[in-house]
Amino acid sequence: MHKKGLLAFFLLFALSRAGAQTDYTALCESMVREQLEARDITDTLVLRVMRSVPRHEFVLKDYRPWAYNDQALPIGEGQTISQPYIVAYMTQILGVQPGERVLEIGTGSGYQAAILSELGGEVYTIEIVETLGLEAKKRLNRLKYKNVNVRIGDGYNGWPEAAPFDAIMVTAGAEELPETLMEQLAEGGRMVIPIGPHGGVRQLTLITRSNGKFKSEKLMAVRFVPFIRQTDKPEKP
Ligand code: SAH
């Protein structure tokens, strides 16, 4: 009886483990088909990396079953990981080529950084909330994502030592275009950034630099957590 109970427990445990893994793969596949391919994500490389990066590893444990849902999810510290479609859309717009230097502002969970690294970019990512940045760094190391450099700080200032960047992705909503980031955009570079008032709807905006001139194009209305500045935070005693 005791042995049988143990055996049953072991079997159930093994089945639940195997089941959980199969489920995530299946959930990820449906996410790609129903939320990305069925909409306007056509870049085969972007679709490939959206299939390969395990999104459930980047959300809070309790939210794992919903990791592949068509929605943003909490990642702690009042911040969120963007909805899969928005991640794929912003990635497709940037069109990152292997070896390109990419700057991300707002590391959050590290999911978007992992996607950019899988595309072969040399990724530099900045997070203002220390605990999130440190966790993302650990997670990206554990999952063996290469070429991702994580820094804790105010992304408003960019990463001057690593500039210029071929692509810049801002994953927090800014009230206006940060000038320093424009300066750090390489000739022929692309930047995607949500711009608009805090608390309201923002416009996802594509900035391109060519022959020293900047062009700005509004892409779609989006909601994003706010881009915060170091000066917004109360001084530490
Ligand atoms: N790209 C992330 C999600 C971003 S949520 C992911 O894939 O999980 C937006 C993130 O931007 C939050 O973690 C927030 O703390 C961070 N952030 C806001 N203002 C910032 C700033 N000035 N510099 C750097 N990070 C900032």
Q: Report pLDDT for 28.
A: 98
For residues 10-19, average pLDDT = 53
- Condensed to tens digits (0 to 9), the pLDDT of residues 72-102 reads 999 999 999 999 999 999 999 999 999 999 9
- Average pLDDT, integer, range 16-35: 81
Query: Residue 5 pLDDT > 70, yes or no?
Result: no
Residues paired with residue 151 on neighbouring β-strands, in sequence order = 126
- The CB of 108 under 6 Å from ligand 1? The reply is yes
Binned at pLDDT 50, 70 and 90, residue 209 comes out as very high
Q: What is the pLDDT of residue 11?
A: 52
User: Can you tell me whether residue 196 is helix, strand or coil?
Assistant: coil
CA angle 89, 90, 95 (to 5 degrees): 95
Poorest-confidence range of 10-14, 34-38, 70-74?
Answer: 10-14
Residue to mutate, 170, 227, 232, ligand 1, most ligand atoms under 8 Å from C-beta? 227
202-210 sheet: strands from edge to edge: 148-152, 122-127, 101-105, 165-170, 185-195, 202-210, 213-222
Residue 237 has pLDDT above 50, yes or no: no
Is residue 135 in contact with ligand 1, taking CB distance under 6 Å?
no
Domains of the chain and CATH, by start: 71-222 (3.40.50.150)
Report percent pLDDT > 70 for the chain: 88
Is ligand 1 within 6 A of the CB of residue 125? no
pLDDT at 174 over 90: yes
Instruction: Check if 112 has its Cβ closer than 6 Å to any atom of ligand 1.
Output: yes
What does the pLDDT read at residue 234? 47
pLDDT greater than 90 at residue 176: yes
Enzyme catalytic residues: 82
Sign of the CA dihedral running 115, 116, 121, 123: negative
Separation between Cα atoms, residue 54 and residue 23, nearest integer Å? 12
What was the pLDDT predicted at 235? 42
The pLDDT mean for the chain works out to 91
For the CA of 112, the closest atom of ligand 1 is 7
Joined together, the tokens standing for residue 195 give 């711009």
Predicted local distance difference test score (pLDDT) of residue 6: 61
Is a pLDDT exceeding 70 seen at residue 226?
Answer: yes
